[in-house]
């Protein structure tokens, strides 16, 4: 989720969530350990076998294909926002 607008500019950014809710401070050690392991694995590969160029970007032809965009989340959030502000009789 991208956050912003009503908070100070230096706190805007991306908020990560798990299926069970927001990522908590207690989740950070496990995440950082996983990142550390993956970095060691990637940095130990010969350059010719890596998906990444020296600048850290994907090499030409190695960028993963993303699924097509869906308007469903926007429709769900739009409906949730409307029901939050519309009075019912």
Beta-carbon contacts of 53 under 8 Å, excluding residues fewer than 6 positions away, are: 59
Tens of pLDDT, residue by residue over 11-32, are 777 777 888 888 889 999 999 9
Q: How many residues does the chain have?
A: 89
What percentage of residues in the chain have a pLDDT greater than 70? 78
Q: Is a pLDDT exceeding 80 seen at residue 52?
A: yes
Residues 50, 60: contact at Cβ < 8 Å?
no
Pairing of strands 13-14, 2-3: antiparallel
pLDDT at residue number 60: 93
pLDDT over 70 at 81, yes or no: no
pLDDT for 82 beyond 60: no
What residue segments make up the domains of the chain, in order of their start?
A: 2-61
Question: Structure pTM?
Answer: 0.51
């Amino acid at each position: 989720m991208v956050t912003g607008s009503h908070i100070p500019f230096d706190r805007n950014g991306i908020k990560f969530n798990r299926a069970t809710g927001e990522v908590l401070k207690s989740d950070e050690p496990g995440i950082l350990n996983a990142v550390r392991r993956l970095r060691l694995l990637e940095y130990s590969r010969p350059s010719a076998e890596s998906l990444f160029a020296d600048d850290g970007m994907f090499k030409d032809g190695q960028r993963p294909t993303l699924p097509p965009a869906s308007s469903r989340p926007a429709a769900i959030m739009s409906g949730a926002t409307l029901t939050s502000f519309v009075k019912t009789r």
